[in-house]
Amino acid sequence: MTTPRVRSIRTARGRGAPALPARRVRAVRTAGGLSVRLDVRAFTVTVLLLVAAAAASVVLIGTGDFPIPAGDVLKTLAGDGNPSQEFIVNDLRLPRVLVGLLVGASLGLAGALFQSVSRNPLGSPDVLGLGQGATAGALIMIVLFSGSATEVALGALAGGLLTGLAIYLLAWKRGVHGYRLVLVGIGVSAIATAVNGYLLTKADLVDAARAVVWMTGSLNGRDWAQVWPLLIMCAVLVPLVLGNARGLRMMEMGDDVSYALGVSVERTRLLLMVAAVLLTAGATAAAGPVGFVALTAPQLARRLTRSPGPNLVPSMCMGATLLIVADWASQRAFGADQLPVGVVTGVLGGVYLLWLLVTERKAGRI
């Protein structure tokens, strides 16, 4: 058996290139001719984010009115807990944590896809109006039909899909380009927000209160009924997206260059946009419109990895970590008042955007 050869490559800044630090890249070649390019820093960041997400999940599972030490949480997950711990961990808290991880990963991946396709850091589901469209679908089920939780989730999914289709068709003009996509998305977002406000004015008090709680974004009361659809969706869409990662990376250099390199640009763009819309709509259906995760997770991941390209896997891990940490903060950082996780992510995202604007202004880029 032939041992794979590992070649270390150190990329440096060429003349006239932006001032980026040198990155260490490993190229692994097997005897069968398969070559894999491994960015050491990006791989390290991804592993650390996975460890952080796992550690935060264990802490969150042990947090509550009946606290459980981390060691007992791990033993219970391994099947060695007592009956009361197994009920609390496996039936009450574990589904909520899994929904948080899957929703955060879905939003992080969707944000990375939209920002890469549009080649714009503002090209996220929050700005493009997909969250507002999914909210409109959920409000229609709540206000007009007094739907159950399952019907509300289906309404949110349908609303997100229809909004994504409308944005794509309105932005189409011999292809879909970044700035047109963002501008159309902002317009559709404004329309959906107005529709949501109108629906709230027509709701009675009970339905309006239920709708406002859902619109905030929360993981309260999530169980295995939300876990399995999200898990199946991610199991199908994540490999599909990663399989087209090379084409997405080429598309960031422009359509003409991508065509020259053999990428089917419109097919790849449509496929990835459909996947991003499904990820956003599915996450919104499960937890409500959790704001700013899709916007900030890809940018934070790119700043940590310092790697060009869409950074799909780091963005997924960053989104999952952000949402789990925000859920812990929503339960513990405000004393007896437990906030919906969407409030915490909104505050953190707003602070990040202000910091980003100040940094960009000092650098003279805006």
Answer whether residue 111 is part of any domain. yes
Q: Which two tokens stand for residue 83?
A: 């009956």
pLDDT at 364 over 80: no
pLDDT given at position 11: 45
Predicted local confidence at residue 81, as pLDDT: 79
3-class SS at 27? strand
* Lowest-pLDDT choice from 72-81, 233-242, 261-270, 304-313: 261-270
CATH classification at residue 96: 1.10.3470.10
Q: Is the separation of the CB atoms in 214 and 155 below 8 Å?
A: no
Tens digit of each residue's pLDDT (9 = 90 or more) over 313-362: 999 999 999 999 999 988 887 655 577 888 888 888 888 778 877 876 77
Helices (H), 244-311: 245-251, 255-260, 265-287, 293-305
Q: How confident is the model at residue 24 (pLDDT cuts 50, 70, 90)?
A: low
Task: Give the contacts of 113 (CB within 8 A, at least 6 positions apart).
Answer: 241, 248, 272, 273, 275, 276, 279, 310, 312
Look at residue 209 in the predicted model and tell me its pLDDT.
84
**Is 0.75 topped by the overall pTM?**
yes
In a domain, 307, yes or no: yes
Neighbours of 21 (CB within 10 A): 9
pLDDT in tens, 132-180: 899 999 999 988 888 888 888 899 989 999 998 898 888 887 766 667 7
What residues are paired with 23 via a beta bridge? 11
Do 29 and 5 form a contact (C-beta atoms < 8 A)? yes
What integer pLDDT is reported at residue 1 of this predicted model?
45
Number of structural domains found in the chain: 1
* pLDDT band of 66, cuts 50, 70, 90: confident
Q: How confident is the model at residue 14 (pLDDT cuts 50, 70, 90)?
A: very low
Contact 315, 303 (CB under 8 A): no
Whether residue 69 lies inside any domain: the answer is yes
**In 3D, which of 133, 184, 187, 139 has the Cα closest to residue 160?**
133
Reported as a single tens digit per residue, the pLDDT across 273-324 is 899 999 999 999 888 888 889 988 998 999 898 887 788 999 999 999 999 9
Note whether residue 110 is domain-resident: yes
- The one-letter code for the residue type at 357 is L
The CA distance from 47 to 39, in Å, is 12
What is d(CA 211, CA 148) in angstroms, rounded to the nearest whole number? Answer: 12
Cα(123)–Cα(178) distance, integer angstroms? 8
Find the angle CA(351)-CA(352)-CA(354) to the nearest 5 degrees.
Answer: 65
Q: Residue 36: beta bridge partners?
A: 28
Give residue 13's pLDDT: 41
Q: What pLDDT is attached to residue 108?
A: 94
Indicate the pairing of strand 35-39 with strand 5-11. Answer: unpaired
Whether 96 contacts 226, CB under 8 Å: no
Domain of 115, in residue numbers:
38-350
* pLDDT for 335: 56
Percent of the chain at pLDDT > 90 equals 28
Whether the per-residue pLDDT at 19 is higher than 50: the answer is no
Instruction: Retrieve residue 93's tokens.
Output: 């808290």
pLDDT, tens digit, for every residue of 196-235?
A: 999 998 888 888 888 888 888 888 888 898 899 999 999 9
pLDDT exceeds cutoff 70 at 12: no
pLDDT at 10 over 60: no
Q: Taking residues 88-96, report their average pLDDT.
A: 91
pLDDT at 175: 66
Q: Would 360 be classed as within a structural domain? A: no
Per the listing, tokens 């880029």 go with: 365
CB-CB contact of 160 with 132 (8 Å): no
| pLDDT over 90 (residue 266) | no
Query: 92: closest CA among 116, 72, 49, 63?
Result: 63
pLDDT at 105 over 90: yes
- Are the CB atoms for 66 and 88 separated by under 8 Å? yes
Strands (E), the chain: 5-11, 23-29, 35-39
**What does the buried/exposed string (b/e) look like for 301-332 if buried means 16 or more CB atoms within 10 Å of the residue's CB?**
bbebbebebbbbbbbbbbbbbbbbbbbbbbbe
Q: What is the pLDDT of residues 170-183, one digit of tens each?
A: 888 776 666 778 88
Is 27 part of a structural domain of the chain? no
The count of residues in the chain is 366
| Amino acid 4: pLDDT | 47
Does residue 306 belong to any structural domain of this protein? yes
293-305 helix and 341-362 helix, angle to the nearest 10 degrees:
50
Q: Is residue 89 part of a domain?
A: yes
Q: What percent of the chain has pLDDT over 70?
A: 85
* 193 token code pair: 């927000």
